[in-house]
Amino acid sequence: MHPLDRLTRQMALVSWRAFLPLVPSYASARNRVQAGHDNVSRLGASIRFRTLLEDEIIAETLAEHSFQIAEKWLQEICWRRYWKGWLEINPQVWTQWRQRVRSLPQQLPAETLARARAVMCGESGVACMDVIARELIETGYLHNHARMWWASFWVHVEKLPWELGADFFFRHLIDADPASNTLSWRWVAGLQTRGKSYLVKLSNIEKYAPNYLTGNTAGSERLADGAVVASIVEEAGDVAKKVPMQYPTALGPTSNRTGLWIHPDDLTPEIGPLALLAPVSVAACLSGYVYSQTYQLSSQRAASLHAVLGDGLERAAAHYACPALALETDDPVAGLCSWVRENELAEVVAFAPMIGPIHDMLPRLSASFAAMGTRLTLIRRVSDATAFSFATAGFFPFWVKMSRHFK
Ligand SMILES: Cc1cc2nc3c(=O)[nH]c(=O)nc-3n(C[C@H](O)[C@H](O)[C@H](O)COP(=O)(O)OP(=O)(O)OC[C@H]3O[C@@H](n4cnc5c(N)ncnc54)[C@H](O)[C@@H]3O)c2cc1C
């Protein structure tokens, strides 16, 4: 099935329920990279856009399997929330990454940029890495191991800046997530766990992708065990922790002219704290301009955003029995302000965006709404607020606290 076809909530649920019986073998099967990737769930995009909720996956997993049998699977499901929570406390890691993505092309020598482009196009000369680059461009999906190997190849073999490799993933991965992507790249580069880099090894590729990536051995000597030496990667600036924003987890009384704004950080408002809202209108912004100019997303990635937002709007229209509009706009803030004016909204309710592109809009959006006298109410799911409060250190202390809720 093409990744875009799996994106509606209905198809995500079908895919998830087909995968549920395979959870017991996930721990032993997940590391293999093989054609079709049916040893892993390929639910990343549905989870990232929340057309499928981690809470549902966790509850259904535990209804079907014991914690012991499902532990590895549950851990992986929780990694994403761990990264999300970590980035809430360290938001400037996101901001600095975006700044470097904009500034590096002006600062790097032309030959470095030309090499970066060749590696991204799958023309590095290391055949197995070129297969991965082309798979990403063609399908918008990569297995976790392939992401690790390719990111390591980029940073520690090609010695290219991690920020531009992370941007290549962000532009093409359909499940591209500001936290999982940026922080996984930082982990590979040795920035996330200080002094600990992830080094790609040919023997590891041969073990886990024997037929998939090892048919053509061209250039593979560059990945030979012991040949890859860690690049010393420095922080680009200050990354001191901040006190994360706290959001309410339940709705108080709302205005009788309330609108619901849905966005790609959570597209299932009909389940959870917004389920009982009575909006007069629902809206989501689609911005070809932002996708292509600000983020230079691949056409497939832009199409995936259209697909999930369309699906979210359709479900919202049915659930709330009110009009649900796709605001096609070059400027999402201006688009939302027009929607507020046209519908005479006194209040707009939304899930609190997490650190990333939607969150970056908030200062301007809040100021514009305030100028119009419209209240912006941002709500966080209880389970996110709980998980994020545990993400203050490494994953394993986080997991100890998280997993107490599952036993
Ligand atoms: C360099 C690099 C970049 C990455 N970029 C992203 C990204 O942009 N978006 C993204 O969702 N994941 C990212 N990951 C994490 C992981 O590779 C993907 O979540 C996973 O491969 C998605 O495929 P799947 O759904 O088939 O995974 P499965 O193995 O079936 O896992 C199920 C779910 O668990 C979560 N998960 C699994 N592994 C991880 C992990 N290591 N970190 C965080 N969550 C995980 C995901 O939500 C995933 O869908 C990245 C990893 C690396 C090394």
| Burial of residue 145, with CB atoms counted within 10 A of its CB: 0-12 exposed, 13-18 middle, 19 or more buried | buried
The reported pLDDT for the residue numbered 240 is 77
Of 26-30, 113-117, 289-293, 356-360, the range with the lowest mean pLDDT is 289-293
Q: How far is the CA of 74 from the centre of ligand 1 (A)?
A: 13
Please indicate whether residue 188, judged by its CB atom, sits closer than 6 Å to ligand 1. Answer: yes
pLDDT digits (tens, 9 = 90+) for 126-179: 999 999 999 999 999 999 999 999 999 999 999 999 999 999 999 999 999 999
- Chain mean position to CA 21: 25
Please indicate whether residue 192, judged by its CB atom, sits closer than 6 Å to ligand 1. Answer: no
Q: What residue segments make up the domains of the chain, in order of their start?
A: 3-89+387-404, 92-223, 258-379
The reported pLDDT for the residue numbered 37 is 95
Q: Which CATH architecture has domain 92-223?
A: Orthogonal Bundle (1.10)
Residue 320 CA to residue 277 CA, distance in Å, equals: 8
Please indicate whether residue 48, judged by its CB atom, sits closer than 6 Å to ligand 1. Answer: yes
Structure tokens, 26: 């996930």
CATH class of the domain comprising 258-379: alpha beta
- Mean pLDDT for the stretch of residues 253-262: 95
Please indicate whether residue 41, judged by its CB atom, sits closer than 6 Å to ligand 1. Answer: yes
What long-range pairs does 143-149 form, CB within 8 A, spacing at least 24?
143/33, 143/37, 143/40, 144/30, 144/40, 145/31, 145/32, 145/33, 145/208, 145/209, 146/33, 146/209, 146/213, 147/184, 148/184, 148/188, 148/198, 148/200, 149/200, 149/204, 149/205
Residue spans of alpha helices (H) in 321-381 = 332-342, 357-360, 362-372
Select from 348, 330, 346, 331 the least CA-distant residue to 283.
348
Q: How far is the CA of 38 from the centre of ligand 1 (A)?
A: 14
CATH class of the domain comprising 3-89+387-404: mainly alpha
Residue 262 CA to residue 258 CA, distance in Å, equals: 13
Nearest CA to ligand 1 atom 24: 42
Do 164 and 75 touch, CB atoms closer than 8 A?
A: no
**Which pTM was predicted?**
0.97
Q: Is 77 left (phi over 0), alpha (psi -120 to 50) or beta?
A: alpha
Q: How far is the CA of 275 from the centre of ligand 1 (A)?
A: 28
Structure tokens, 8: 């509606």
Nearest CA to ligand 1 atom 21: 144
**Ligand 1 atom at shortest distance from the alpha carbon of 178:** 8
The reported pLDDT for the residue numbered 1 is 64
Select from 165, 121, 142 the least CA-distant residue to 212.
142
pLDDT digits (tens, 9 = 90+) for 26-77: 999 999 999 999 999 999 999 999 999 999 999 999 999 999 999 999 999 9
Q: How far is the CA of 402 from the centre of ligand 1 (A)?
A: 18
The reported pLDDT for the residue numbered 236 is 86
Nearest CA to ligand 1 atom 29: 40
Do 219 and 241 touch, CB atoms closer than 8 A?
A: no
Please indicate whether residue 80, judged by its CB atom, sits closer than 6 Å to ligand 1. Answer: yes
Percentages (nearest 5) of helix, strand, coil residues in the chain: 55, 5, 35
